[in-house]
Amino acid sequence: MAIPLKPTSESLTTVAKLIREGGVAVIPTETVYGLAANALDEAAVRRVFAIKGRPSDHPLIVHLASASELNGVAEDIPDLAWILAEDFWPGPLTMVLHKSLNIPKLVTGGRETVAVRVPFHSVTIWLLKEAGCPIAAPSANRFTRLSPTRIEDLDPEVLAQVDAALDGGQCDVGVESTVLDLTVEPPVILRPGGISAEAIEAVIGIALGRGVGESNKSPGQHPAHYRPRTPLKIVDHLTPEMPGIVFADASPCQIALGSDPVLFQRELYAALHRLDRGQYERVFIKAPPHEPEWAAVWDRIRRAAQN
């Protein structure tokens, strides 16, 4: 059982060395906590799949310290990737590119493409620089479960199996990165996330293609994902005795997350984890507006809910 460590120069040095040498650690990022391993170490990556209980054809995201390392993990990198990197890295944008030979197929779920991002969290960047290797890291939840955005929400079964865990506080973005496939023209969003389609379109000046979340393209996107243990239902209105998530005016069994999509999304997983601990038979969430800025929230709650 790993005891979560606060990030100090000593703990960071230890965890970076551990990752470089084939260990597995829970680390914070600005989106959600990740289950980190040296992306070039097949035995370590195999452990990540085992700890998560994740099928071997579900590819992992490779994290880099900076865009300048992209050439080491990807090939035939289109100009658009560099333009996007300039604007959105470090940050919650993951780009799917043609993989280079040194990235094991184990990491990419057998694909010829690799998903990469440069995270924004200072702890993650520090670890990447100190470890000196690309870090493969899926969200630190067990397969199909809710991602943790606070170390307290980490599944004890995950904590029991890792070599170390770093407590970087609550994740700022709160939902996973946007996954953008750049191996097709025009690029397609495979998973809505921390960066909106509109923001990407504004930078590249072209409309993104259709086909969001196509399951064979992005197998991590199957319908039963991000599930709390307690059945969740999306409803238009919650009465005060219905436990769940509202925008405002929460009763004692409810959590108000406000009506700003950025703040709502930051708190969403933590609120769902809290409700999950509440021993309720069923929990509810008020349907957010059908507006573009709520795309990532809608994507997650649709999969989390059993409507």
Member of 108, 149, 196, 265 binding ligand TXA (CB under 6 A): 108
Member of 23, 91, 138, 174 binding ligand TXA (CB under 6 A): 138
Could you say whether residue 276 binds ligand TXA (CB under 6 A)?
Answer: no
What are the b/e assignments for 51-62, b being 16+ CB within 10 Å?
Answer: bbebeeebbbbb
Strand order in the sheet with 232-235: 232-235, 283-286, 244-246, 254-256
Nearer to ligand TXA, 87 or 172 (CB): 172
Give me the least distance between CB of 61 and ligand TXA, in Å please: 5
Give me the least distance between CB of 139 and Mg ion, in Å please: 3
Could you say whether residue 179 binds ligand TXA (CB under 6 A)?
Answer: yes
Residue nearest to Mg ion (CB): 139
The SS3 call for residue 291 is coil
Could you say whether residue 265 binds ligand TXA (CB under 6 A)?
Answer: no
Judged by CB under 6 A, the stretch of 29-37, 43-51, 226-234, 275-283 that binds ligand TXA is 29-37
Could you say whether residue 113 binds Mg ion (CB under 5 A)?
Answer: no
Sign of the CA dihedral with 70 first, then 212, 218, and 149 last: positive
Could you say whether residue 139 binds Mg ion (CB under 5 A)?
Answer: yes
Q: Which amino acid is at 143?
A: F
- Return d(Cα 161, Cα 157) in angstroms, integer: 7
Member of 15, 25, 26, 32 binding ligand TXA (CB under 6 A): 32
Could you say whether residue 254 binds ligand TXA (CB under 6 A)?
Answer: no
CA end-to-end span of the chain: 36
Could you say whether residue 94 binds ligand TXA (CB under 6 A)?
Answer: yes
Could you say whether residue 96 binds ligand TXA (CB under 6 A)?
Answer: yes
Cα 179–Cα 90–Cα 288 angle in degrees, nearest 5: 50
The pair of structure tokens assigned to 149 is 């955005």
